[in-house]
Structures are given as C-alpha cells and as structure tokens.
Amino acid sequence: MRRLVDPEWSRYINWRLGRDGRIAIGLFLLAAAVAGGYFGSQALAAPDPTGAQTYVRITITVPKTVRIREKGRVIVKRVPVVTRIYAKPVTVGEMRAFGP
C-alpha cells in the first residue's frame, strides 16, 4: 500500500513501462470500464435482476389415497400431502359489457 503513494515508485514504473506500456494499460482500463458499464446497464435494464421471472410459491394440502395391508386386508387411507406449486403472477383483465 505504501508503494501506491510513493512518488519514486510511480516514476520507476513509468520509466519501466515506457510510453507504449502506459498507452496499452490506459486502453485496457478504458475497455474494462466500457465493458463493465455495458454489462451493468444490461443488468439494470432487465425486468428482473436474475434474468428469470419471479414466481409465487403456493402451498396446497391434497388428500392422497394410499393402499395399506393390515392384518391380511387391504385398507385405503387418505393421507394429506403438501404440494408446492410455483406459479407465475399474471394480471388478469376483466371485461364487462354494460348495456341493454
């Protein structure tokens, strides 16, 4: 960290790289900034930051019929099973006609 603020170190790096090296590093940093800005604007312009649409989790308890063998007999039991449905939220428009 000390080298970043040391003027002697900066002079040495400038001398070591030369003019062409400084231009190459400047172009690389400019290209990195342009690419970062492009990808940042694409991420902000998307409707959802993850790229996928948001889904709403709906939990429903559904009875399931299960056949069980007890004491030599087959018994049908209804067992509650929790199912999860991931539904995409959709706005439903309703049209009504008024008149005679």
All residues at 6 or more sequence positions from 69 whose CB lies less than 8 Å from its CB, including other chains: 75
> What pLDDT sits at residue 3?
76
CA distance 78 to 76: 7
9-29 pLDDT, tens digit each:
888 888 888 889 889 999 999
The predicted model scores a pTM of 0.41
Whether residue 60 contacts residue 86, with contact meaning beta carbons closer than 8 Å, is answered with no
pLDDT of residue 31: 97
pLDDT for the residue 51 = 47
pLDDT of 47-85, one tens digit each? 654 545 677 888 889 999 999 998 889 999 999 999 988
Query: What residue segments make up the domains of the chain, in order of their start?
Result: 2-45, 56-87
